[in-house]
Amino acid sequence: MGFQYLTNIPLEEARDGYMSFLAEHGFAHKTGTVPVAQLCGMITAAPVYAHICAPHYHASAMDGIAVKASDTFGAGETTPVTLTPEQYTVVDTGDPLPDGCDAVVMIEDVVNLEDGNVRLHVSAAPWQNIRQIGEDICAGEMILPAYTRITPAAAGAMIAGGVLKAEVICPPVIGIIPTGDEIVEPKEDPAPGDILEFNSTIFSSMVKEWGAEPKVYPICPDKKDLLKEELSLALKECDIVLVNAGSSAGREDYSSAIIGELGEVFCHGIAIKPGKPAILGACGSKPVIGVPGYPVSGIIVVDQLLKPVLDAWFNQPKGHSEEIKAILSRPVISGLKYEEFVRVRVGCVDGKYVASPLNRGAGVVSSFMKADGIMAVPQGLEGYEAGSEVTVRLLKPEHELQNTIVVIGSHDPLMDELSDLIHTADPEMNLSSSHVGSMGGIMAARRGEAHLGGVHLLDEADGTYNTSFIRKYFPNGGVRLVECVGRTQGLMIQKGNPKGIKGVADLQREGLRYVNRQKGSGTRILIDYLCKKENIDTGKIYGYDREEFTHTSVAAQIASDSADAGMGIYSAAMLYDLDFIPVCTEQYDLLIPDYAWETPMVQKLIEVLKSDAFRKRLEALGGYTIGDPGTVRMHF
């Protein structure tokens, strides 16, 4: 149960040092000769010169007749020149210029006479309508310099220049070795403790996009000898090897020792989060990288440390990422010891970019899927306050952000269905939603950081929903409340109700485990209110401070038997096949600030809300009362 400390080398220092280390160890690309039909997208390894001229003969550029220009001199509107069949040749576009001719007259300008002669009313200039030899490319000219990506037009130009193959940089073969006793091949029904092996799929896809060729090895158990054997094999078959996990410093982490035995470790432990336990090494001239096991850590290490190795292989400039300035919607506290890479959603709202940090867990791969960009918090900085201007490296084109509806507010699975319906109706548009609860939605709208948010806030005083809160938080108006749905809220409980729960009053019972929603969510406000009404001391409810952020994650805890009850909506209970004790029906509305109302995206959303397709999706989810979704209930 011992553990060793890793180094904590700053990222740039590690990267630059590793590149020099690899160069010293003789790391270099392989080249190969490839036929032109397969060249597109590859990188030249040497300059490409034309072998022949294009065109390689004087070619007619028109359909018409080829002539000797001097035969036509003097031709004019009133002084036509007549040519005999010996003086002209009919040519089509691309035909070679007949001997003795030095001009082509286009067909439209030729008058055919009955005796086979032709009449011209305009004289021809020498070399008119002729594509001269080398007009496009001259033999001996450099078509492409070395280390240049071959485009479709370049492939065409190469053939035109008589070049049927070229020396290019071979895609490097990247061996990927997944390791770990707990790792299993992807399956639909894994047992507890099984960790699905999806990192190889992620890394393979990443390196394929970068022009390399992945080769995934079988999962290697945590046995030092077996791993050493598999790495030796991969080093024979590949140009670069990734050992996935075993890179930490736990009981069964052998990667570093093995790389050291087969080659040399440059460093183990980099000052980044996630991704710290990365190993950089080489066996012979081949880079070997120990990639941490958590998927987010792995992606960051592959992006930050393998990509530069590939850039060096291809002798390409390092990837250029678009960067934008954005306002940070929530504070980010980071450790001083690391450079932290925080995945963020980025929305373009009311003319400015807003970045919202996603789940920072190293195991949360969906955070990378949802991310629009990455915000780096430099080493030595404690983080950023909400409202700070931060730099975000974008993971998607900037224009896509400008067509994305930013939804911040209360969670409901119908948001995902809306997202699907809008994107299907207009592929230019997207919807991204963050679940921060109803109060979070109101605050985001006040700060101008969202196009809309779902709200379902009960006014304890009069039992109404939403309006009193909006009056309070938007005293000067400027927002619309748009009808969405009525929802049935209730207690989600395990199938068959093994604990015999009848209502909220039972929650304080000894031995009963509750799972709650986060403070500020409408559902939390509801359960707080219900407890107060029934004079229940929430301090006595076991698990009342265990907070989840969505209805579905509360349902998931109950379904997995780590809790007995939780407040949530009917559709979430249905999804997990739970029993459900209805407690009330609430109004779930959309809060839409005026600045967002007129945008085409929000108007499209209103259209979708009113559609039959949306109604059908709600019916399939279940538990909704559908009135007139999309109707403005009130304009404040």
Site for its own copies in 511-550 (CB under 8 A): 543, 546, 548, 550
Q: In whole angstroms, give the CA distance from residue 369 to residue 352.
A: 23
HSE-CB at 352 with a 13 A cutoff on CA atoms is 16
Q: Which region among 229-237, 278-286, 366-374, 595-603 touches its own copies (by CB under 8 A)?
A: 366-374
For position 57 contacting its own copies by CB under 8 A, the verdict is yes
Site residues for its own copies, window 271-330 (CB under 8 A)?
Answer: 293, 295, 299, 315-317, 320
Q: Which region among 79-87, 332-340, 361-369, 582-590 touches its own copies (by CB under 8 A)?
A: 361-369
**One of 34, 122, 257, 364 touching its own copies (CB under 8 A):** 364
For position 90 contacting its own copies by CB under 8 A, the verdict is yes
**Nearest approach, Cβ of 357 to its own copies (angstroms)?**
16
**One of 81, 155, 406, 458 touching its own copies (CB under 8 A):** 155
Instruction: Tell me whether residue 107 or residue 257 sits nearer to its own copies (CB atom).
Output: 107
Q: Which region among 55-63, 379-387, 435-443, 496-504 touches its own copies (by CB under 8 A)?
A: 55-63
Whether 296 contacts 365, CB under 8 Å: yes
Site residues for its own copies, window 588-627 (CB under 8 A)?
Answer: none
Among candidates 237, 337, 239, 255, which has minimal Cα distance to 293?
A: 255
**One of 576, 580, 597, 614 touching its own copies (CB under 8 A):** 576
For position 100 contacting its own copies by CB under 8 A, the verdict is no
**One of 10, 31, 34, 40 touching its own copies (CB under 8 A):** 40
Provide the 3-class DSSP secondary structure of residue 556.
Answer: helix
Q: How far apart are the first and last CA of the chain?
A: 62
**Nearest approach, Cβ of 153 to its own copies (angstroms)?**
4
For position 380 contacting its own copies by CB under 8 A, the verdict is no
Whether 528 contacts 460, CB under 8 Å: no
For position 142 contacting its own copies by CB under 8 A, the verdict is yes
For position 233 contacting its own copies by CB under 8 A, the verdict is no
**Nearest approach, Cβ of 482 to its own copies (angstroms)?**
21
For position 31 contacting its own copies by CB under 8 A, the verdict is no
In sequence order, what are the residues at sequence separation of 6 or more whose Cβ sits closer than 8 angstroms to the Cβ of residue 354?
A: 326, 327, 329, 346, 347, 348, 406, 449, 450
Q: In whole angstroms, give the CA distance from residue 318 to residue 12.
A: 14
Between helices 600-609 and 414-425, what is the axis angle to 10°?
110
Q: Which region among 34-42, 493-501, 587-595, 606-614 touches its own copies (by CB under 8 A)?
A: 34-42
Number of amino acids touching its own copies (CB under 8 A): 129
Q: What angle do CA 272, 276, 281 make, to 5 degrees?
A: 110
In SS3 terms, 142-185 reads as: EEECCCCECCHHHHHHHHHCCCCEEEEECCCEEEEEEECCCEEC
For position 423 contacting its own copies by CB under 8 A, the verdict is yes
Site residues for its own copies, window 554-573 (CB under 8 A)?
Answer: 555-557, 559-560, 562
Provide the 3-class DSSP secondary structure of residue 48.
Answer: strand
Q: Which region among 13-21, 126-134, 467-475, 484-492 touches its own copies (by CB under 8 A)?
A: 126-134
Q: In whole angstroms, give the CA distance from residue 39 to residue 566.
A: 59
Q: Which region among 265-273, 332-340, 362-370, 583-591 touches its own copies (by CB under 8 A)?
A: 362-370
**Nearest approach, Cβ of 233 to its own copies (angstroms)?**
21
**One of 15, 29, 131, 604 touching its own copies (CB under 8 A):** 131
Site residues for its own copies, window 466-495 (CB under 8 A)?
Answer: none
Provide the 3-class DSSP secondary structure of residue 503.
Answer: coil
Site residues for its own copies, window 161-200 (CB under 8 A)?
Answer: 162, 164, 180, 182, 186-190, 192-199
Instruction: Tell me whether residue 521 or residue 587 sits nearer to its own copies (CB atom).
Output: 521
Q: In whole angstroms, give the CA distance from residue 22 to residue 322.
A: 28
Among candidates 629, 516, 627, 626, which has minimal Cα distance to 564?
A: 516
Q: Which region among 19-27, 348-356, 365-373, 455-463 touches its own copies (by CB under 8 A)?
A: 365-373
Site residues for its own copies, window 209-228 (CB under 8 A)?
Answer: 209
For position 420 contacting its own copies by CB under 8 A, the verdict is yes
Whether 379 contacts 339, CB under 8 Å: yes
Among candidates 408, 405, 587, 592, which has minimal Cα distance to 482?
A: 592
Provide the 3-class DSSP secondary structure of residue 516.
Answer: strand
What DSSP designation does 47 have? -
Tokens of 185: 């091949």
